[in-house]
Amino acid sequence: MSGGVDSSVAAWLLKEQGWEVIGVTMKLWPQDCMTRAEDKCCGPQAIADARNVANTLGIPHYVIDEAVPFERLVIDYFADEYRAGRTPNPCVMCNEKLKFGNLWDKATALGATYIATGHYASVEHPSDGVDGEPVLRKGLDPRKDQSYFLFSLRREQLSRALFPLGSLTKDEIRDIARKLGLKVADKEDSQEICFVPGKDYKAFLKDRFQDRGETFQPGGFYDLQGNHLGTHDGIEFFTIGQRKGLPGGGGAPRYVIDIDAGSGRVILGGEEDLLCEEFTINRTTWHGVPPTVSRTVLVKVRHGHTGDLADVTAGDNDTALVRPLEALRAVTPGQAAVFYDGDQVIGGGWIASRTVRTVNPRAAQESLPPTQGPASA
């Protein structure tokens, strides 16, 4: 229970269905950092809200301290990905490693059989006595569907997961909360990463790197022909497809096409240079039999992406090759690519490398001249 309306209504729905429900809130910040988390999910106010809801519903409530593993498995991952020139997705990692990972041991100690959350998704379990795969599906409300963030859950994790909100819309959930008299009925949804105050990534990463004895990685801006266009203060400030914060030129808009952490180069190009013909993924999770022969599926390359058709072929060592039927814009290393058959999640993985329509930026960098001037810092 995060203290929001979704997990609160999820708890009530389960109780109405006859389940014995236990409310659990994870405390994700050390005590000396709790003021920073005041307005965040699982911060002090969120814990108080969750406790109040549990009291209203008549269920026990526990607070579990997960600050140390959260820092190691989610926050360090977040910082490391930016240092590597990739764009992280901490919500996927938190679901896999904490909510349906570490939390299971605590749930078992409390006598629980399943872990339920307020995610907008659904999971179908095989009937008793049938050995089959649990099926992960999209939530009914397309505006709120969160199945993308759950793709990496393994079979054993999905088999003990419940998502009571999968068949409801956000408006219906708020109506239920109002009828129950829950104080969180009209509480605003969190629209940002829970551990980054005010969406200030630069300040957060600066503090994190200082704690680890690290600094930003400055370098230079280059175009696809190898021309030096200016300098920047750190590759960590950029992501594929970004337009803001780039050197101007008075001509066509420029976008970040690629980031090379090794040299500190940020490669810029036009919008057409963002179009991706194919890409590879690693650390792939399949729900069902991996497609060793090319299979046409719907692929989402970011949470806000509605999805496009692509041919996907599973490779060796948990990799896969993805060829969109029409070139995709701004396919970003570090983000998740999730595959769907209708509303069913059939697998996904982490974008590792890609080939853009105009030129492969990695190949272009190999021919670039040595970085000159301040860009070599």
Give me the active site residues, please.
94, 194
How many CA within 13 A on the CB side of residue 226?
10
DSSP state of 369: P
3-state secondary structure string, 296-312?
EEEEECCCCCCCEEEEE
Q: How far apart are CA 161 and CA 113, in angstroms?
A: 9
Q: Which two tokens stand for residue 336?
A: 């998740």
Residue 147: exposure state from Cβ atoms within 10 A (0-12, 13-18, ≥19) = buried
Q: How far apart are CA 285 and CA 354, in angstroms?
A: 19
Rounded CA separation 125/157 (Å): 12
Q: Which residues contact 130 (CB under 8 A, 6 or more apart)?
A: none
> Closest Cα to residue 8, out of 62, 60, 49, 48?
49
Contact 143, 129 (CB under 8 A): no
**Residue 293 burial (10 A CB sphere; 0-12, 13-18, 19+):** exposed
Task: List the one residue out of 251, 326, 287, 261 whose CA is nearest residue 125.
Answer: 287
Q: How far is CA 287 from CA 299, 311, 373, in A?
A: 15, 17, 50
Angle between helices 201-211 and 76-83 (to 10 degrees): 100
DSSP-based three-state secondary structure for 340: strand
